[in-house]
Chains A and B, each alone.
Chain A
Amino acid sequence: MAAEGGQPAPKSEAPAEKKDQAQDQKKGSKDQTKSAAAAPAEGAGEKKLSNAELKKKAKEEKAARRAAAKVSQPQPPASAPGQAGDGAKGGKPKPKQDGQQAGNQHGGKAAAPRSAAPMPAPKEAKPSVPECFSHLAMAKGVHLTHADKDVHPAVLLLGQQMSTMAISDSTTRLEATLLAFKKVIDSYTTPHGTTLSRHFTSHVLNPQIVYLTACRPMCFSMGNAIRWLKLQISKIDIDMADSDAKKLLCEAIDSFIHERITLADVVIVSTAADMISPNGDDVILIYAHHHLVERALLRARADGKRFKVILVDDPFERVGLAHAKTLAAAGIPVAYAPDLGALRTNLQEATTVLVAAEGMFSNGAMYARAGTCDVATAAFDLGMRVTALCETINFTERVSIDSLTYNEIDPERNTDEEFRLLFDTTRDKSISAVVTELGICSAKSVPAILRKLEEL
């Protein structure tokens, strides 16, 4: 990727030059035809002369342009030492025969001692992420033209959707990824002299994963599923026919989606709905929007339960408005608080808090939308029950004790002017119960569930 990042500047210059050349040539030919058309009566000698002159001119122009290019090429690395570094990185594995490479290397060498002095320059060049948060990942998005040529069109589309946050929820991303991989498998044919289990992962699957990760850092569930998928691929018998192997893999993916996502969601939704008291005195406080919470509430309402909902929205991403509308349309009385103001008062009125997790760490910490931790902690202070909904596919063996270990920066708000983290980490002490497809457990039992899942 580094090579690609460094490349665009010279590349974009090169086509421009070519265009110029092409235009010049066109002009030349036009001139030729014009002169030929305008003076057919004049002597042929003049015509030849003009041709020769044109050729000479063209040669001179070319030479001038080359000279200009040589002068201009060392300049970009000098003005942007960050790019020079990238170029140097990319330069090593690159073949030497490239004509531009020579110029580039010269430039790079010349710029190398210079780049040491203006160190703050690259920071100014990209004013983006404040330094104290620069270690965090961010969905950068990869332009379609910069994507690896091996990336499948379905994956290309998915990557764009992910980088623009059109698909942002962890399980939705997982499902979309697996479906896209199915298409990749479908369109794959094993080249001669190798087998699917040895060739597919390294040569076809990995570029897709690299591209998706570049578009937006993978969520835990995607990491888990890809690990599983690679295991399935490696298990395929090398003697198996290509079509059979592909069919086997696609079926495995289908059943994985069915078991770990679709069915899991159904179980979680019905378990969570059952937790709501049928007496009609429950007031449930929810934060922002998550499809599991929404489905659980709608399911409980469909079961004939009467309860009230207090929806506290994320003030900078008003996903709760539509959610409140859906709930109100289903006949659930909704109180909508646009931000965390008066949170305690809202909580005092509520009987239970229902949140959904983006992931669970093996120390029992919950990774969820930024602000969830504030709600959960305040609820814990008031001695309230905080229930988290999460599919086990989102469980990870990683451990996080603060919110800045694993987090993501909002790609649209990543500057000093506007900065926003997407997630935060809630410690296990403020979570009363985690509802998974395997049942209701405590946050502390995440590692036990992970072990159990390994055995399966």
Chain B
Amino acid sequence: MPSVSSGHALDLEKFLKSLKGQPLEASINSLISLLKRRQIKGSEPCAVATAHILLQVVARSKWHDVDSLLANVSRTGRKLVGAQPNELVIGNIVRRVLGLIRDEASEDRGDTADESASDAPTPTDIVPPASSQQWTTRRLDSASSAAPAARPPIVSSYSSINPPKSLFHLLSTSPPADGDVSPFRNSGASTPTWRGNSSQIHALRSEVIDGIEEIKDEISQVDDQIAASAEVQIHPGDLVLVHQPSTTVERFILRAAQKRKFTVLIAVAPPRRHSAESQHATFRKKLSAAGITVVNVMNGGLMAYMSRVNKVIIGARAIVATGGVVADAGAAAITRAAKEQGTAVVVLSGVYKLSPESPFDESSLIEWGDSSTFVSFADGPLVCGAEIRTALTELIQPELVDTYITNLGTHSRDHLSSLISDHYKREDADFHIWEEAEP
């Protein structure tokens, strides 16, 4: 992984450097092709690239009100997601940015045009304007208890959708909204009356840019913050199994190695046809410098080791809403083996990898890789006679995971849904689908 990721980091760096010199459309297109060619791959590079390009979209694209900004961002986001649908992180970052814009816009509106916003009826949508917070609370309430006692806030929020004086206000407020925004668009519904002057737009632009910078900072600090809980999780004398450690997992283990003495088993990736170098060499060197015993395990199925292993640590590529974890191929077998022996499975992941999507079909999250990695094309009988399936990623069943560690702390599976509602707006959950129907 390290050797591979360094190669891709180069491409990411090149891309980030090229951002300034190019027109916006050109850099969007170059990112799309980089994603399609897998020259930028892995969740963190994808997230960083997405954040950068969206920053450019906010800073440089033409927009004169919130709706056109939202439309710009979601249009770009949709293209990126389409370029690499397996990287759920791209969609996550787009949703975060969309949510950020909505928040900033509603704050501004709260300052300037409070009344008109709160009264604004929406022609098509269930979502009330400026009520994203109401929405989350309502959703939580309805989720947490079905008791009628919990209803009052819901009723009140519904009352804002269908205000008693709606007819009058419908007439008075809707024309400006319809003037420049498609009535079908959900995003447009949130701010139908927001008519910013240039100074407001300027303020919004800088606030959103600041917000995206914060997201970028968050992504860069994730590894450190996750590593902070390493000592709590790893105890002296533990036998810790890591599967194809990503940088996040390496940092986590190395942090624990400063304080504790334990043994690390690394389940390495199967050797490719051409390369022969020892895997994770630098990681091993650092660990043995800290006095930690490191063993590279060359087994595909690790059931044999599980009776000894105390903890399994998996670095996630993405986490779906159900709690299932998208990870490198082979991790599912390991977590299943851990379950068999009652070994704890710890998943490390930045919050930005937590996706509100929940796939209907688990095989849709498997990324199939190059079949020639293991089978030579020169091998005629095999190429003709057999279908080669090289999975790169797979979904770990949610019930096989015991703990999720993110940069916000340690969570159980039940807590993930509230994390999701904290970070994403309900309106944006399906952003990549709802505009497909429009044109």
A interface list, Cβ under 8 A from B: 130-132, 311, 314-316, 318, 321, 324-325, 327-329, 333-346, 348, 370-375, 377-378, 381, 402-404, 407, 410, 413, 416-421, 423-426
Contact indicator A344/B382 (Cβ below 8 Å): no
B133 within 8 A of A: no
- Identify which of A325, A338, A421 contacts B270 (C-beta below 8 A): A338
Contact indicator B298/A340 (Cβ below 8 Å): no
Contact count A vs B, C-beta below 8 Å: 170
Contact with A along B258-287 (1 / 0, CB 8 A): 000001000000110000001000001000
Residues from chain B with Cβ under 8 Å of A373 in the complex: 301, 303-304, 337
Residues from chain B with Cβ under 8 Å of A316 in the complex: 270-271, 298-300
Contact indicator A417/B304 (Cβ below 8 Å): no
Q: A316-B271, A334-B387, A336-B386 are in contact. Are A377 and B296 (CB under 8 A)?
A: no
- Identify which of B301, B307, B328 contacts A372 (C-beta below 8 A): B301
Contact indicator B298/A419 (Cβ below 8 Å): yes
The 4 closest A-B pairs by CB, nearest first: A341-B329, A328-B385, A374-B301, A315-B270
Contact indicator B300/A371 (Cβ below 8 Å): yes
Contact indicator B299/A370 (Cβ below 8 Å): yes
Task: Identify 12 new A-B residue pairs, CB closer than 8 A, beyond the known A336-B388, A370-B303, A371-B303.
Answer: A318-B374, A324-B382, A325-B381, A328-B385, A338-B388, A341-B328, A341-B329, A344-B397, A345-B394, A373-B303, A403-B304, A404-B307
Residues from chain A with Cβ under 8 Å of B363 in the complex: 342, 345, 348
B366 within 8 A of A: yes
Contact indicator A339/B375 (Cβ below 8 Å): no
Q: A130-B295, A345-B363, A423-B304 are in contact. Are A337 and B386 (CB under 8 A)?
A: no
B330 within 8 A of A: yes
- Identify which of A341, A410, A419, A426 contacts B390 (C-beta below 8 A): A341
Residues from chain B with Cβ under 8 Å of A402 in the complex: 307, 341
- Identify which of B296, B303, B307, B379 contacts A416 (C-beta below 8 A): B296
CA gap between A410 and B300 in the complex, in Å: 14
B177 within 8 A of A: no
Contact indicator B304/A344 (Cβ below 8 Å): no
Residues from chain A with Cβ under 8 Å of B239 in the complex: 132
At the interface, is chain A mostly helix, strand, loop or mixed?
Answer: mixed
Contact indicator A407/B382 (Cβ below 8 Å): no
B305 within 8 A of A: yes
Contact with A along B56-98 (1 / 0, CB 8 A): 0000000000000000000000000000000000000000000
24 interchain pairs, CB-CB under 8 A:
A316-B298, A327-B385, A328-B381, A328-B384, A336-B387, A337-B389, A338-B390, A339-B270, A339-B391, A341-B366, A342-B363, A342-B366, A345-B362, A345-B363, A370-B299, A371-B299, A373-B303, A374-B300, A419-B295, A419-B297, A420-B298, A421-B304, A423-B304, A424-B301
CA gap between A421 and B304 in the complex, in Å: 8
Closest to A381 in B: B336
Contact indicator B298/A336 (Cβ below 8 Å): no
B113 within 8 A of A: no
Residues from chain B with Cβ under 8 Å of A374 in the complex: 300-303, 333, 336-337
Q: A371-B300, A377-B340 are in contact. Are A340 and B333 (CB under 8 A)?
A: yes
Contact indicator B296/A132 (Cβ below 8 Å): no
Contact indicator B375/A336 (Cβ below 8 Å): yes
At the interface, is chain B mostly helix, strand, loop or mixed?
Answer: mixed
- Identify which of B278, B375, B382, B394 contacts A341 (C-beta below 8 A): B394
- Identify which of A344, A370, A426 contacts B332 (C-beta below 8 A): A344
B169 within 8 A of A: no
Closest to A130 in B: B295
Q: A316-B270, A316-B271, A377-B337 are in contact. Are A325 and B385 (CB under 8 A)?
A: yes
Contact with A along B351-364 (1 / 0, CB 8 A): 00000000000110
CA gap between A373 and B338 in the complex, in Å: 12
A134 to chain B, nearest CB (A): 12
B294 within 8 A of A: yes
A413 to chain B, nearest CB (A): 5
B392 within 8 A of A: yes
B38 within 8 A of A: no
B139 within 8 A of A: no
A323 to chain B, nearest CB (A): 10
